[in-house]
Amino acid sequence: MKLRQGYKLIVIGDSITDCDRARPVGEGLYHGLGHGYVNLLQSLIRCEHPSFIVQLINMGISGNTIRDLAARWQRDVLDHEPDGVIIGIGINDVWRKYDNPMNQALAVLEEEYEHTLNELIDSTQAIGAEVMLLTPFFIEPNKDEPMRTDMDRYGAIVKTVGERRGLPVVDLQQVMDRFLAHTHPSTLALDRVHPNQTGHMAIAKAIVEAL
C-alpha cells in the first residue's frame, strides 16, 4: 500500500476506529473522522506529505465484530470504490465471550473469524483495492490472562492471513506491549480495551510507518 495524489483510503473496524466519527460517512478536516487514531492518521499524513491530498474515510462502528463488517461491506466499503482499505477488527469477536458469557453465540470463533477475513479481502481485491490489516489487541501485560491469550490467537490469525496473502500487517498488540513494558495498563486504557490519546497516537504512527 503506497499513498499517492487523490488516494481514497477507508479505515473500517469497531469502537477503536469509530471514536464518534460522523454519520453516515466519516470524513473531513475536523470532527468527521472522530477523535481517535483515524483523525491523527490524517494529521500525520498531511504533515509528512503536504503536497498531495489523501481522502481518508472512517467507517468504524462501535461494538462491531467481523460478522458485522461482512454484513455492511458492500455499502460501507465496496460502494465507495476505494484505492485502499485498512481493516482493524477482532476485539469484540473475543470480548463477547467474556462480557456476555450467557450468550456465547455473540462471540465469533476463530474459524469463522479467519474465513470471514479472507472473504472481505477477496471482495476488496476484486475491485482492485489494496488492503492493510491491523491486529486486535488487549492492553494487558500478563499473556496468561485468558482474554489476552485469546486475543493473541486472533492476532496470530491476522498475521498468518497477511503473510499468506502478501499483505502489510500492523501488529498493534506489539505496539501496546512496548508501553506495557514500562507502565501500568490504566495509563493507556481504564478498561484495557479503549486506548486514550497516547494509545491512539501510537496506532496512527504505526500505520504511517507501515505506509
Residue 51 annotated to the active site: no
Q: Which of 79, 99, 122, 191 is catalytic?
A: 191
Residue 20 annotated to the active site: no
Q: Which of 14, 76, 171, 194 is catalytic?
A: 194
Nearest to 135 by CA among 96, 165, 170, 175: 170
Instruction: Copy the grid coordinates of residue 37.
Output: 487514531
Element at 172 (helix H, strand E): helix 172-180
> Letter for the amino acid at 177?
D
Residue 76 annotated to the active site: no
What order do you get walking across the sheet with 7-13 strand by strand? 54-58, 7-13, 84-88, 130-134, 169-170
Instruction: Copy the grid coordinates of residue 97.
Output: 465471550
Q: Which of 15, 76, 93, 150 is catalytic?
A: 15
Catalytic residues: 15, 191, 194
